[in-house]
């Protein structure tokens, strides 16, 4: 089988050992002689998987038992409304940095007053706003750490006097940060954590039970906390895939993973900046380490460049339809050798 250099924005590349472990579990899960996708989620073997997958998140985040870890369904998109439904009593503050922030704001507006503290919409979300103040009269402050479509990333997080909520779907566990600065973190698994099908939610227990509205059972965080993420049948395969990926991350260490991700980002951005056929689309100080977005200055060359990428077995390089150009998504499992292949294609194309 030929090697494909997978720059897809998601579902994204996974470590080969994770894919191998999942493949073996599909045949015989934990010595049960049952496939992973037919085993009971109430079995001891899978309960052990869920417990370990929750414990590893706490270990990697260096957080204590004042936090709860959940594996839910519905993607980060469901969290746009669950966050507000569970936490918003009067008003909340949002940082608007692109498509996913806009979707979160749209859902939250149904539950209270939403104030956009700052927005980069004026320049097509090509930078991260920095001149804003978070007041102490909000129920919470919400931000998106990385923007897959526009290729920007918060490299530093603000100090917040109110609970800070973050959508980390596309850069979770890609760097070493102070996770305890956040009161709630959510992330779709399909970028850095595992296969699509489950969503990680990590919440500080003290921020719950503060709203007066009725919260439907399935949308109430307490429902899933009380039942250990098994109020209904969880996404068994996706959770198992997350556990395998978390083990791989733990074996590497977040500091080493961050260094490796920086190496990949430096390689691609250096070529973008020195190759006069190409141009980056975001402010340099806000460039994402996960999703490098760029264009050809002469759009007439787009198809020729895509053909050159295809010939080099490069997949998923085409930019999002709302932005155009190209996007190299370089999640944790992406090898620097694959980034070098893309850089070589860019150089040869010139």
Q: Is there a single domain that holds both residue 239 and residue 295?
A: no
pLDDT at 243 over 80: yes
CB-based burial label for 157 (10 Å; 0-12, 13-18, 19+): middle
Q: Are residues 225 and 273 in the same domain?
A: no
Same domain, 314 and 337: yes
Token pair of 53 as six digits:
């997958």
Q: Could you say which of 202, 221, 252 is where a domain stops?
A: 252
CATH number of the domain bearing residue 323 = 3.90.1150.10
Residues 208 and 260 in one domain: no
Residue 323 counted as domain residue = yes
Cβ 248 vs Cβ 15: under 8 Å? yes
- Quote the CA–CA distance of 143 and 157 in Å, as a whole number: 9
| Whether residue 30 is found in the same domain as residue 172 | yes
User: Is residue 6 in some structural domain?
Assistant: no
Residue 82 has pLDDT above 80, yes or no: yes
Whether 9 is in a domain gets the answer no
Cα 341 → chain centroid = 25
Do 225 and 263 lie in a common domain? no
Task: Mark out the alpha helices in 299-335 (DSSP H runs).
Answer: 302-311
Q: What is the pTM of this model?
A: 0.96
In a domain, 8, yes or no: no
Instruction: Quote the mean pLDDT of the chain.
Output: 97
pLDDT at residue number 44? 94
Q: Are 45 and 29 in contact (CB under 8 A)?
A: yes
End residue of a domain, out of 252, 270, 297:
252
Distance of CA 220 to the CA centre of its chain: 22
- Structural domain includes residue 7: no
> Of the residues 222, 252, 282, which one is the last residue of a structural domain?
252
Q: What is the pLDDT of residues 129-151, one digit of tens each?
A: 999 999 999 999 999 999 999 99
Given a contact cutoff of 8 angstroms between Cβ atoms, the answer to whether 126 and 174 are in contact is no
Evaluate the CA torsion angle 115, 121, 126, 127 in order and state its sign: negative
Same domain, 285 and 214: no
- The domain tally of the chain equals 2
HSE value, Cβ hemisphere, 13 Å, CA-based, for 273: 10
For the segment 44-67, what is each residue's pLDDT rounded down to a tens digit?
999 999 999 999 999 999 999 999
Report residue 267 as tokens.
């390689």
CATH number of the domain residue 72 falls in? 3.40.640.10
Q: What's the first-to-final CA gap in the chain, in angstroms?
A: 30
Task: Cite the active site residues.
Answer: 100, 167, 191
Q: Are 115 and 61 in a shared domain?
A: yes
Residue 46 confidence (pLDDT): 97
Residues 153, 226, single domain; the answer is yes
Query: Are 273 and 243 found together in one domain?
Result: no
Domain enclosing residue 325, as ranges: 253-349
User: Helices in the chain by DSSP H: which ranges?
Assistant: 16-27, 44-61, 75-87, 99-108, 221-226, 236-252, 254-274, 302-311, 336-349
Rounded CA gap, 251 and 102, in Å? 36
Q: How far is CA 8 from CA 125, 163, 168, 306, in A?
A: 21, 33, 17, 14
Residue 34 in domain = yes
Tens of pLDDT, residues 86-132 = 999 999 999 999 999 999 999 999 999 999 999 999 999 999 999 99
Residue 56 covered by a domain: yes
Q: In the structure encoding, which two tokens stand for residue 205, read together?
A: 């227990």
């Amino acid at each position: 089988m030929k090697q494909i250099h997978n720059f897809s924005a998601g579902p994204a590349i996974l470590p080969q050992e994770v894919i191998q472990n999942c493949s073996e579990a599909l045949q015989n899960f934990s010595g049960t002689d049952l496939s992973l996708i037919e085993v009971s989620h109430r079995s001891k073997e899978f309960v052990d998987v869920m417990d370990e997958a929750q414990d590893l998140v706490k270990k990697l985040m260096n957080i204590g038992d004042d936090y709860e870890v959940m594996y839910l369904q519905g993607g980060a998109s469901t969290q746009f409304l669950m966050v507000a439904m569970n936490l918003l009593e009067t008003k909340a503050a949002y940082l608007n940095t692109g498509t996913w922030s806009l979707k979160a704001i749209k859902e939250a507006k149904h539950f209270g007053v939403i104030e956009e503290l700052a927005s980069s919409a004026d320049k097509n979300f090509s930078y991260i706003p920095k001149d804003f103040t978070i007041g102490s009269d909000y129920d919470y402050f919400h931000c998106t750490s990385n923007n897959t479509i526009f290729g920007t990333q918060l490299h530093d997080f603000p100090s917040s006097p109110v609970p800070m909520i973050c959508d980390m779907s596309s850069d979770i566990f890609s760097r070493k940060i102070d996770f305890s600065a956040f009161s709630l973190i959510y992330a779709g698994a399909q970028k850095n954590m595992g296969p699509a099908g489950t969503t990680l939610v990590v919440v500080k227990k003290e921020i719950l039970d503060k709203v007066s509205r009725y919260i439907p059972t399935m949308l109430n965080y307490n429902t899933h906390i009380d039942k250990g993420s098994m109020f209904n049948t969880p996404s068994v395969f996706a959770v198992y895939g997350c556990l395998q990926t978390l083990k791989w991350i733990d074996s590497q260490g977040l500091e080493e993973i961050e260094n490796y991700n920086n190496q990949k980002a430096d390689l691609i951005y250096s070529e973008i900046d020195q190759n006069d056929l190409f141009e980056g689309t975001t402010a340099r100080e806000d460039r994402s380490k996960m999703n490098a977005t760029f264009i050809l200055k002469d759009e007439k060359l787009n198809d020729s460049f895509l053909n050159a990428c295809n010939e080099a077995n490069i997949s998923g390089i085409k930019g999002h339809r709302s932005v155009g150009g190209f996007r190299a998504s370089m999640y944790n499992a992406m090898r620097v050798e694959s980034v070098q292949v893309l850089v070589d294609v860019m150089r040869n194309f010139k």
